Amino acid sequence: MHFEQHFQQIVNGLTLGAIYSLIALGYTLVYGILAMINFAHSEVLMLGSFAALGLAVFAPTFFGASPLGLAALFAVSMAVAGLVNVLVERFAYRPLRTISRLAPLISAIGVSIVLQNAVFLWISTQALSFPQPGVSGQVSIFGASISALQLVILGAALGLMALLHFFVEHTKMGKAMRACADDFATAGLMGIDANKVIAITFFVGGALGGAAGVLYGMNYGSIKYNLGFLPGTKAFTAAVLGGIGNIRGAVLGGFILGFLEVLASGYIPDGAQWRDVIAFTVLIVVLLVRPSGLLGEKTAEKV
């Protein structure tokens, strides 16, 4: 194996990692504020990709190969996914928030099943082919030819992560989000409208999931009602690995998981079938050493 191959493997790991990271951010943002795991997030991701497909089918001229059309496609899919996530929170989680920690969790699993079956029954039981974004072929970087599509995916994911960073660190709403994550009750006493902050958090997390759904469709070329399950589980794992509730942790965890998978299937003989075993063994080992994840902080039990 020579340089070109290694470089391609790095790009493979980065693309996979970027998609995992984007999804992991959705889990971690919600957990940071409500300390609940939004199991419906994988379905929000799936709905994002179906929204993009719908747009591409019903307004094909609008969603051309132009960068503007592509950006519009992302914007609409993200808005749809974000909105779905907000509605789920409003109707399935908020009424249960004060009852017990377990109730919203079960409700989340219920929402996940409902959404998945709605698409299964009303849209399609089969894989639908996802339109290609007009980037194909290879580009040459450092003498290595790299898949152009992967670079677009990587660029879009990194761009969104940068936007999120700006939003959380440099806007008033971001500050409010951090305050709520820090201490929910006190933030409320300081005049922060907790429900609004929660709704916005769900919107942002859902939008990132929706974007990941579009990237997923582009990357694999076809989408299906159950596509969210596997990447959702992996991304949730990534979020835990990085320290759930921690934004940088989610990104780090996503990339580590992506690289672990590439390492397993690309470098270990007959490693493809051991990929998940290897990735999850590493996860267990990390959690044994650092139970709160790589970047997670040890927090005292909230009372």
Contact mark string toward other proteins, 213..232, x via CB under 8 A: ------xxxx-------xx-
Alpha-carbon distance of 144 to 7, in angstroms, equals: 7
Alpha-carbon distance of 209 to 215, in angstroms, equals: 10
Chosen residue from 102, 155, 267, 291 binding other proteins by CB under 8 A: 267
Alpha-carbon distance of 180 to 194, in angstroms, equals: 7
Residue 107 Cβ vs other proteins, minimum distance, rounded to whole Å: 27
Chosen residue from 66, 132, 171, 195 binding other proteins by CB under 8 A: 132
Chosen residue from 61, 98, 273, 299 binding other proteins by CB under 8 A: 273
* Subset of 16-75 contacting other proteins (CB under 8 A): 16
Listed ranges 5-13, 47-55, 107-115, 176-184: which one lies at the site for other proteins (CB under 8 A): 5-13
Residue 29 Cβ vs other proteins, minimum distance, rounded to whole Å: 25
70 vs 200, beta carbon nearer other proteins: 70
List the end-to-end C-alpha distance of the chain, in Å, as a whole number: 55
Are 59 and 172 in contact by the 8 Å Cβ rule? The answer is no
Residue 93's CB is within 10 A of a number of other CB atoms, namely 22
Alpha-carbon distance of 217 to 224, in angstroms, equals: 9
Q: Does position 117 bind other proteins by CB under 8 A?
A: no
Q: Does position 186 bind other proteins by CB under 8 A?
A: no
Q: Does position 116 bind other proteins by CB under 8 A?
A: no
The number of residues making up the chain comes to: 303
Residue 220 Cβ vs other proteins, minimum distance, rounded to whole Å: 5
* Residue among 203, 214, 259 at smallest CA distance from 234: 259
Partners of 146 in beta bridges: 139
**Which residues are CB-neighbours of 227 under 8 A, at least 6 positions away?**
45, 46, 49, 213, 216
Residue ranges binding other proteins (CB under 8 A) = 1-2, 4-5, 8-9, 12-13, 15-16, 125-129, 132, 136, 138, 145, 147, 149-150, 219-222, 230-231, 261-267, 269-273, 276
